[in-house]
């Protein structure tokens, strides 16, 4: 992989998929690649936090990102160690600060995400003090280039389906591509990468294949990313939270078509949708 290639899952990794035999619509025998999911139990210091169903790649990023997005790992916390045992399906994150989240773990709300996506009530309150970069920009030319690059990039989704993807982007360039069986896992891996590698987030774009729900909005804001894009649709609460946080929220981004329902002021219309032969006759110009 060249140094300027994005970090992404390896669809040829034999540990991420396995062949399963069946038949097709004509009754002919076939062999299909299916995604493998396995449990991963996360500990913060000595306390068990959650068991997640995951494809198993990048467990360090997933663990740190989950804790950061649940506000259990604070910005000034020093991570002293991350231990992963693949055979036991366990990852332990250790910090200098003593932690005890027993009371919080007893009261949680399941979100509309799949598998182990959870949001604690105080996460919504914590959004009030967060300010996203008002000067961040999304040019439509970048958006069109990103959707094309992401949709044609080798991935587990193209190889086996049954997977969600999240991509951290800078301008028109994909930087980090993470896949998993749940979109919340994929975005947590992005958050973990940002945290462990000190990547600035205030000028980045987050692309997801999944729905733009309250959970996705909350996690994106907590990472400090000002722009969230999806090829899928919205939930009403997701839109409401995005507007409150001044998050640019773009959905149904396919080809050169999209809908922006929050943070429209960051969008610069520098490419004509009608330039795409797939969207012939559709044209929109403007400036934000």
Q: Which two tokens stand for residue 256?
A: 């050169």
pLDDT at 108: 56
Tell me, what's the pLDDT at 288?
Answer: 30
pLDDT at 122: 60
Domains observed in the chain: 138-279 (3.40.140.10)
Residue 267 has what pLDDT? 98
Q: Confirm if 56 and 40 have CB atoms less than 8 A apart.
A: yes
Contact predicate 68/218, CB 8 Å: no
Q: Identify the pLDDT of residue 275.
A: 53
pLDDT at 281: 36
> CA–CA separation, 65 vs 217, rounded Å?
15
Residue 144, Cβ density class (10 Å: 0-12 exposed, 13-18 middle, ≥19 buried): buried
**pLDDT per residue rounded down to tens, the chain (288 residues):** 334 566 877 888 888 989 999 999 999 999 998 999 999 999 999 999 999 999 999 999 999 999 999 889 999 999 999 999 999 999 999 999 999 887 777 655 444 445 444 444 566 777 777 899 999 999 999 999 999 999 888 778 777 777 889 999 999 999 999 999 988 999 999 999 999 999 999 999 999 999 999 989 999 999 999 999 999 999 999 999 999 999 999 999 999 999 999 999 999 999 887 655 444 333 333 333
pLDDT at 277: 44
């Amino acid at each position: 992989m060249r140094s300027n290639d994005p970090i992404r899952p390896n669809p040829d990794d034999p540990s991420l998929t396995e062949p399963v035999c069946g038949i097709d619509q004509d009754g002919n025998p076939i062999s299909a690649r299916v995604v493998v999911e396995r449990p991963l139990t996360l500990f913060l210091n000595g306390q068990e936090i959650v068991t997640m169903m995951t494809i198993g790649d990048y467990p360090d990023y997933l663990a740190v990102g989950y804790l950061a997005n649940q506000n259990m790992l604070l910005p000034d916390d020093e991570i002293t160690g991350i231990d992963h045992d693949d055979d036991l399906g366990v990852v332990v994150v250790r910090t200098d600060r003593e932690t005890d989240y027993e009371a919080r773990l007893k009261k949680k709300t399941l979100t509309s995400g799949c598998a182990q996506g959870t949001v604690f009530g105080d996460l919504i309150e914590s959004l009030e003090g967060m300010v996203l970069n008002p000067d961040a920009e999304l040019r439509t030319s970048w958006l069109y280039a990103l959707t094309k690059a992401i949709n044609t990039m080798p991935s587990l989704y193209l190889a086996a389906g049954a997977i969600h993807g999240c991509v951290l982007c800078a301008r028109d360039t994909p930087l980090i591509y993470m896949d998993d069986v749940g979109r919340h896992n994929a975005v947590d891996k992005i958050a973990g990468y940002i945290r462990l590698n000190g990547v600035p987030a205030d000028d980045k774009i987050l692309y997801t294949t999944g729905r733009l729900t309250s959970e996705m909005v909350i996690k994106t804001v907590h990472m400090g990313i000002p722009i969230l894009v999806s090829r899928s649709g919205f939930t009403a609460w997701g839109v409401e939270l995005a507007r409150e946080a001044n998050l640019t929220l773009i959905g149904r981004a396919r080809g050169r078509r999209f809908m922006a329902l929050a943070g429209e002021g960051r969008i610069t219309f520098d490419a004509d949708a009608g330039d795409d032969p797939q969207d012939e006759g559709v044209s929109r110009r403007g400036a934000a």
